[in-house]
Amino acid sequence: MHGEYVLSRYLIASDIVSPAHHPDPSRLLFASRTGKSLLVKERIYRSLLAGEFDRIDQATLLQLRADEVLVPPTSDEFLDLLEKNQRGIRETHTLSLTLQPTANCQLGCGYCGQQHVKKNLDEDTSARIVARIMDTLRRKSYIRLAINWYGGEPILALKQIEDISGQLIEQCGPAGVHFFASMVTNGLSFKPDVYLRLQRQRVNSFQITLDGIGHIHDLMRPVKAGGGSFDIILQNLVDVTGMPEFSANRSGVTSHNPHQYQPPQPGQGCRSDRPAGRSGAGGAQCGAGFSPGGGLGRQPGRPRQPGGGGLRRAGNRLDGACDPAGF
């Protein structure tokens, strides 16, 4: 390892986060090259700073390399990253866009920061959005279009989503562009019939945030009309993930893997990392990112992180070869 890797200059370390007098304290590292957060033992951090990588166990070293805490030596890390970013922009073939079809939401989360109004996309604006997307797809050599439906609460504009998706599906096919979509939803209206309608519009990945369990979530994410949202959301998840259409869509269920498709039970479906794009006000915020054939609490295709001897995953984010700037 010596000479093969150096500590990235794009690393941010917190103070020690363990209680005073902890026998083996830890601190948080944020690898800004990859957006990964890691909880590391102080002894590991000290070894990193001293360049004594031989003192770190192999599993932890592998993770530190994967998260680009440790990087190959270079004469100028900044120029290296710049070139990597420029290459990524040149080589991407996916146009990735986030659309907000409504300014309305049924919840009143304490940290929201939005002022909701009962306003959905009108027909003229929708047509302009579709025209602009198709024009952008034509101007560069895109082969994929990825739409992320966001809000407010996007399900409140289901009709608009269907209208826009229908136009995009109709036009993307002849243009040789593969269209798919995802959604960030509060889950309150995520009923089986809504899921089926979204599935027809190729929305096949969903992010739903749970701010803890039961009343803790309800404190953070109350329904504006009154009452909590946790039980409703959880029941919706149980109902949707129990549908044959959910597990049958693009995944094989056999006698060898039925355990993968069990609906979540109360107390499940919550993970310790935060979904991308959500800015909770701290506390025990959890996110369930899931899609047909995946599993609650883990992004599809993303392996579970191996636990190094002195290191634990403290956060995560979505990433991918997309080009939001291309629009």
Q: Which residues bind ligand SF4 (CB under 6 A)?
A: 105, 107-109, 112, 114, 151-153, 186, 221
Tell me the closest approach of the beta carbon of residue 222 to ligand SF4, in angstroms.
Answer: 9
Q: Would you say 322 and 96 are in contact if contact means Cβ atoms under 8 Å apart?
A: yes
Tell me the closest approach of the beta carbon of residue 232 to ligand SF4, in angstroms.
Answer: 13
Tell me the closest approach of the beta carbon of residue 213 to ligand SF4, in angstroms.
Answer: 17
Tell me the closest approach of the beta carbon of residue 107 to ligand SF4, in angstroms.
Answer: 4
Tell me the closest approach of the beta carbon of residue 186 to ligand SF4, in angstroms.
Answer: 4
Tell me the closest approach of the beta carbon of residue 194 to ligand SF4, in angstroms.
Answer: 16
Smaller CB distance to ligand SF4: residue 152 or 308? 152
Smaller CB distance to ligand SF4: residue 95 or 232? 232
CB atoms closer than 10 angstroms to residue 27: 17
Q: How far from each other are the two terminal CA atoms of the chain, in whole angstroms?
A: 42
Tell me the closest approach of the beta carbon of residue 203 to ligand SF4, in angstroms.
Answer: 17
Smaller CB distance to ligand SF4: residue 120 or 186? 186
Q: Would you say 164 and 130 are in contact if contact means Cβ atoms under 8 Å apart?
A: yes
Smaller CB distance to ligand SF4: residue 53 or 150? 150
226 to 11, 83, 153, 317: CA distances (angstroms) = 44, 52, 17, 32
